């Protein structure tokens, strides 16, 4: 059935518009560059720290957690074009000196990049 319609064909009516505090923010994409942070005031006076750009990653290996640099973004499951622009997102496969790794956190929401090692380089 068409979106916004009942099975009978009648329309669903919205009870009210969204209020200003319910509206989403501009999406913050984390790029592969020198580390840059931004602090944002959240509702209730809380402060969120968002990551605008980063070039290193906390990499979880079999031996433990190692901090290494990110060489390149190989692929992104959300969109092919985001990998070409070197944008870091959750689930993106990145190339590191130790091998391929998958990002496990949301860098736009947290001030760090965490990843799990998939393939080790020979």
Range of 104's domain?
Answer: 25-120
Whether residue 71 lies inside any domain: the answer is: yes
pLDDT at 112 over 90: yes
pLDDT at 1 over 60: no
Which backbone phi and psi does 76 adopt, to 5 degrees?
Answer: -130, 125
CATH at 31: 3.10.290.70
Whether residue 68 lies inside any domain: the answer is: yes
Whether residue 7 lies inside any domain: the answer is: no
User: How many separate domains does the chain show?
Assistant: 1
pLDDT at 63 over 70: yes
Using one digit for the tens of pLDDT, what is the confidence trace for 30-61? 999 999 999 999 889 999 899 999 999 999 99
Alpha carbons within 13 A on the beta-carbon side of 33: 10
């Amino acid at each position: 059935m068409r979106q916004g319609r009942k099975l009978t064909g009648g329309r669903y009516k919205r009870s009210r518009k969204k209020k200003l505090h319910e509206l989403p923010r501009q999406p913050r994409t984390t790029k592969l560059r020198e580390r840059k942070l931004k602090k944002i005031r959240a509702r209730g006076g809380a402060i969120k720290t968002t990551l605008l750009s980063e070039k290193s990653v906390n990499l979880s290996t079999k031996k433990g957690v190692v901090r290494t640099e990110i060489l390149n973004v190989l692929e992104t499951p959300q969109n092919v074009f985001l990998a070409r622009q070197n944008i870091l997102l959750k689930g993106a496969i990145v190339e590191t000196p130790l091998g391929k790794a998958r990002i496990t956190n949301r860098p736009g929401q947290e001030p760090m990049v965490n990843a799990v090692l998939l393939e080790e380089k020979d």
